[in-house]
């Protein structure tokens, strides 16, 4: 029998002893064994810190992002292998698609997110803050990668997605990972890691894998490390309370099982499309991955007068779900991940039955296709009914982690909100309603207790990714019982693996540190106009101070006629009483246009086009007779990759535009963007 390997300290190592047996969830046959006995967990963490961390920290966000893209493309070449192994976990083709290709999709998403960051190993965070009246002292937050290792302790239900959705974020941040998948399905995680390591795409030490027990791994974490956990709330509490986590103040992110719910709005009737949407969503969430999802719907709240109609419709929908061998094309629900999981689910159902009753399904039997129900970890979907949700605690605190859900009544939107909150914090809840007023009332009332809320109606149903699908650029996590943590979340998620530092100093010093021009910093004005410089030649702080021009009444009238902006403040002398203006004022966009006329170098050169405007403020009114001048400063440079071999090598340059009048006061400030060609094509 195969023994799974552990990829640590740069090589594949088998743990000592026989280890834990791993079983095919569909037929009960032994697949292999997993063991981490004999491994030096302290050495594993030190290897990540001393080998993987420095290598990743040297790379810029753009380089790390391109690394993720290359990895995603590589893994797509091995989908057939991953699917064939995934079937052994009990997952159908559709289930496996979410796990495998959904995980790879996270790599692509975070690869694309590199464009939100500078081409540097670190980044600024938020706006600069003036700290002195004279403009010589300021503050700026920056983010740098932590110098440790991220320890990911993952759940059994998504052995691929659970790993890839997490490492995509920490690798983009510049921090290596040690992944400890749940042992029961770790054979699929191992297969993916084998291909990752074989590709040679990641710097050595960026990713290590443990198949088996985590041993005393947490005894060796430090304040520069991060620990994430996905699994049961009880196990998460034990890990979060680990003495080393507490004494070292190690950042700990938990995503725990939760009693997620769905609400049918009281406006929805059986004749409406939202009714069918609701039934389809509940059925899908009960049967996808055989209900083994931390985001699955466990509580169903419907108006009291629609209870029977809903459970009958759900029973009919569930009866059309073919259960059995996931490799059979007719099968829509496979097995649970193992016999132990089925036993655990059935034990939890017994607790729920103390206050609820089964209205669909059977505890004892299940009809399966192309499989043996006794050898495989199969069970029937179970729909329970609880008529007294305010008087029952178990239905809001006991989770059966399988194809099990409970339907309950409510009498008002206020009651539905109160019931949703009784889960004491969840990853996600949904409301299906055609009434935006109902949606608003529910969201604002229930938002404090949920990490994500899906508002589902006929308008968005076709494009909706569904109740149970966390998305890379949205946070995944929830308060209270759900763990109080966050995963993914786009830029927000990357920040979790970085240290935020508040810098204080002169604008010139902070410009040099951040590579972003800060107002008041020293500039360089040369005879060669900045627009004559190629992207590589431009330096942060390159400046041109223009000659001046006087604004005339004719300018204001002509701009109004050209732009067709005849707003009263520009054109009507008789309507200014009670306003802040003493006479017709120049259009703000005229001032910006006039500024461009002053600072632009008109000859053909490296500047290819105006790429846009990031920010613009009109600070002081400009009247006819005022004389304006401009200071244009190179603020920031953003690399752009070639789309193909025929594309022009180029980058985006951000320019700070400061417009002043004859008194020296600023009248307008803006950041404009130009696309600038590179000298080296």
Q: Report, as residue numbers or ranges, the catalytic residues.
A: 255, 294
- Between the alpha carbon of residue 589 and those of residues 445, 545, 601, 673, the distances in Å are 43, 20, 20, 16
Contact 536, 585 (CB under 8 A): no
CA distance 676 to 607: 4
Whose CA is closest to 233, among 460, 485, 417, 442? 485
3-state secondary structure string across 486-502: CEECCHHHHHCCEEEEE
Q: Which residues contact 477 (CB under 8 A, 6 or more apart)?
A: 253, 255, 427, 451, 483, 484, 485, 486, 487
**b/e code 297-321 from CB counts within 10 Å (16+ = b):** bbbbbbbeebbeebbebbeebbeeb
Contact 253, 227 (CB under 8 A): yes
The sheet carrying 252-256 orders its strands as 11-13, 6-8, 207-209, 177-180, 150-153, 226-231, 252-256
Place of tokens 């791994």: 217
CA distance 657 to 671: 6
Contact 652, 638 (CB under 8 A): yes
DSSP string of 440-474, one letter each residue? HHHHHHHGGGBS-EEEE-TTTTTT---TT---TTS
Locate 654 and state its tokens: 């951000």
Contact 523, 543 (CB under 8 A): yes
- Helix H or strand E encompassing 358: strand 357-360
Place of tokens 């496979």: 334
Whose CA is closest to 179, among 167, 194, 188? 167
Rg (CA), the chain: 30
CA distance 592 to 123: 29
CA distance 631 to 434: 53
Contact 123, 143 (CB under 8 A): yes
β-bridge pairing 627-639 and 549-550? antiparallel
Residues in the chain: 681
CB atoms within 10 A of CB 492: 13
Q: What is the distance in angstroms between the CA of the first residue and the CA of the last residue of the chain? A: 55
- Helix H or strand E encompassing 560: helix 553-563
State the burial class of residue 4 (Cβ atoms within 10 Å of its Cβ: 0-12, 13-18, 19+).
buried
């Amino acid at each position: 029998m195969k023994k799974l390997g552990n990829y640590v300290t740069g090589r594949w190592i088998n743990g000592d002893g026989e280890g834990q047996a791993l079983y095919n969830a569909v037929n009960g046959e032994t697949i292999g064994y997993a063991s981490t006995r004999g491994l030096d967990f302290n050495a594993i963490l030190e290897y990540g810190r001393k080998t993987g961390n420095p290598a990743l920290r040297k790379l810029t966000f753009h380089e790390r992002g391109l690394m993720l893209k290359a990895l995603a493309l590589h893994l797509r070449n091995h989908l057939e292998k991953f699917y064939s192994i995934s079937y052994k976990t009990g997952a159908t083709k559709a289930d496996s698609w979410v796990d495998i290709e959904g995980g790879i999709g996270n790599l692509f998403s975070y690869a694309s997110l590199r464009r939100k960051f500078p081409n540097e190993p670190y980044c600024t965070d938020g706006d600069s803050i003036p700290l002195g009246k004279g403009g010589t002292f300021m503050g700026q937050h920056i983010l740098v990668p932590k110098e440790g290792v991220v320890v990911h302790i993952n759940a059994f239900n998504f052995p691929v997605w659970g790993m890839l959705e997490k490492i995509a974020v920490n690798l983009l941040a510049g921090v290596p990972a040690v992944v400890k998948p749940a042992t029961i399905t770790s054979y699929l995680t191992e297969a993916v890691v084998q291909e990752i390591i074989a590709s040679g795409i990641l710097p050595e030490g960026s990713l290590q894998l443990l198949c088996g027990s985590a041993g005393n791994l947490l005894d060796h974490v430090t304040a520069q490390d991060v620990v994430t956990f996905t699994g049961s709330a009880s196990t998460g509490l034990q890990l979060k309370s680990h003495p080393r986590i507490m004494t070292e103040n190690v950042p700990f992110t938990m995503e725990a099982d939760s009693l997620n719910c769905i609400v049918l709005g009281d406006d929805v009737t059986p004749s409406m499309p939202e009714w069918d949407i609701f039934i389809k969503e509940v059925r899908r969430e009960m049967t996808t991955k055989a209900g083994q999802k931390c985001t699955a719907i466990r509580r169903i709240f419907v108006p009291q007068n629609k209870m029977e109609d809903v459970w009958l419709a759900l029973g009919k929908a569930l009866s059309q779900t073919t259960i059995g061998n996931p490799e059979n094309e007719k099968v829509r629900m496979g097995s649970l991940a193992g016999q132990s999981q089925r036993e655990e689910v059935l034990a939890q159902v017994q607790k729920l039955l103390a206050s609820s009753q089964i209205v669909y399904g059977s505890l004892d039997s299940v009809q399966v296709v192309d499989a043996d129900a006794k050898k495989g970890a199969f069970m029937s979907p179970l729909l329970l009914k609880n008529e007294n949700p305010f008087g029952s605690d178990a239905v809001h605190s006991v989770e059966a982690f399988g194809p099990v859900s409970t339907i309950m009544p409510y009498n008002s939107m206020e009651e539905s909100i109160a019931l949703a909150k009784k889960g004491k914090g969840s990853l996600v809840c949904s409301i299906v309603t055609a009434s935006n007023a109902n949606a608003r009332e529910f969201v604002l009332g229930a938002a404090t207790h949920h990490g994500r809320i899906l508002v589902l109606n006929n308008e968005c149903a076709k494009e909706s990714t569904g109740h149970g699908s966390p998305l890379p650029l949205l946070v995944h996590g929830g308060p209270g019982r759900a763990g109080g943590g966050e995963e993914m979340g786009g830029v927000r998620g990357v920040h979790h693996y970085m240290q935020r530092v508040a810098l204080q100093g002169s604008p010139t010093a902070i410009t040099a540190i951040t590579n972003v021009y800060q107002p008041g910093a020293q500039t360089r004005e040369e005879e060669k106009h900045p627009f004559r410089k190629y992207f590589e030649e431009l330096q942060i702080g390159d400046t041109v101070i223009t000659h001046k021009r006087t604004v005339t009444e004719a300018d204001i009238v002509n701009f109004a006629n050209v732009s067709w902006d005849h707003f009263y403040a520009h054109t009507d002398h008789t309507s200014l009483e009670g306003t802040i203006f003493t006479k017709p004022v120049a259009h703000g966009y005229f001032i910006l246009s006039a500024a461009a006329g002053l600072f632009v170098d008109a000859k053909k050169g490296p500047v290819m086009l105006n790429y846009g405007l990031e920010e613009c403020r009109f600070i002081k009114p400009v009247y006819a007779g005022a004389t304006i001048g401009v200071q244009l400063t190179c603020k920031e440079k953003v690399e752009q990759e070639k789309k193909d071999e025929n594309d022009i090598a180029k980058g985006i340059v951000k320019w700070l535009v400061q417009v002043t009048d004859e008194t020296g006061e600023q009248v307008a400030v803006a950041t404009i963007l130009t696309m600038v060609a590179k000298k080296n094509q």
